[in-house]
């Protein structure tokens, strides 16, 4: 799962709040050197992602938002009564697509290659949606699912793992389990 809205932008989080979050996750971080190297929310997210605890950070940030919206507005001035969390689709397949499209980032072409999608097709998807990464990724995932109707779930997890995004593999496995798709 990703982080809330634009909270990942380092300038939107006060130093005091970052220290609170670091202290909250001190046991999970479990390294004085790594703890001291964390100077931004992006650093904290990276450490927690490696330790498969990114969802715990999201939970803590969600609690912050729901328990004290005024405090959240101070942390994230871009809030302005907009939805903070992306809308979660009811359909589990759309949930999987949403998680991958939102979180894959710059590794999206590597993911496409691991899904055995040709360079020409990757370029075509990219050209159809210039500058709109999420739409390109969603289209690639749909394309793969249409070709591999019976084993697409395994294919997604294998490709994500090979793309060094095992964290996303775990997230979509959680979706599969919650929706009794495994």
Closest CA to 72 of 2, 23, 1, 3: 3
Task: Give the H/E segment covering residue 170.
Answer: helix 166-178
92-178 has which fold? Death Domain, Fas (1.10.533)
Residues of 90-106 as b/e, b for ≥16 C-beta within 10 angstroms? eeebebbbbbbbbbbee
Q: What is the pLDDT of residue 85?
A: 54
Find out whether 171 and 155 touch, Cβ atoms under 8 Å. no
Torsion sign over Cα 33, 104, 73, 88: negative
Characterise 76 by phi-psi region: left (phi > 0), alpha (psi -120 to 50), beta (else): beta
Closest CA to 47 of 63, 24, 16: 24
pLDDT digits (tens, 9 = 90+) for 29-80: 888 888 888 888 888 888 888 888 888 888 877 776 555 544 444 444 444 4
User: Any idea where the domains of the chain sit in the sequence?
Assistant: 10-75, 92-178
Q: What is the pLDDT of residue 52?
A: 81
Q: Is 85 helix (H, G, I), strand (E, B) or coil?
A: coil
For the chain, the straight-line distance linking the first and the last C-alpha, in angstroms and rounded, comes to 19
pLDDT digits (tens, 9 = 90+) for 9-28: 433 567 788 888 888 888 88
pLDDT digits (tens, 9 = 90+) for 103-132: 998 889 999 999 999 999 999 988 998 888
Find out whether 182 and 153 touch, Cβ atoms under 8 Å. yes
CB count in 10 Å sphere of residue 162? 15
**Gap between the Cα atoms of 172 and 165, Å rounded:** 11
């Amino acid at each position: 799962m990703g982080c809330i809205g634009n909270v990942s932008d380092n300038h939107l989080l006060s130093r005091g709040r970052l220290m609170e979050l670091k202290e909250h996750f001190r046991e999970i971080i479990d390294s004085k050197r790594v703890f001291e190297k964390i100077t931004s929310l992006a650093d904290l997210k990276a450490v927690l992602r490696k330790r498969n605890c990114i969802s715990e950070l999201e939970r803590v940030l969600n609690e912050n938002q729901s328990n004290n919206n005024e405090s959240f507005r101070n942390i994230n001035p871009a809030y302005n009564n907009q939805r903070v969390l992306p809308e979660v689709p009811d359909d589990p397949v759309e949930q999987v697509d949403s998680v991958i499209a939102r979180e894959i980032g710059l590794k999206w072409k590597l993911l496409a290659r691991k899904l055995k999608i040709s360079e020409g097709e990757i370029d075509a998807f990219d050209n159809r949606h210039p500058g709109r990464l999420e739409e390109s990724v969603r289209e690639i995932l749909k394309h793969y699912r249409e070709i591999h109707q019976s084993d697409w779930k395994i294919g997604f997890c294998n490709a994500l793992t090979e793309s060094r995004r095992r964290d996303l593999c775990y997230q979509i496995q959680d979706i599969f389990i919650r929706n009794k798709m495994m």
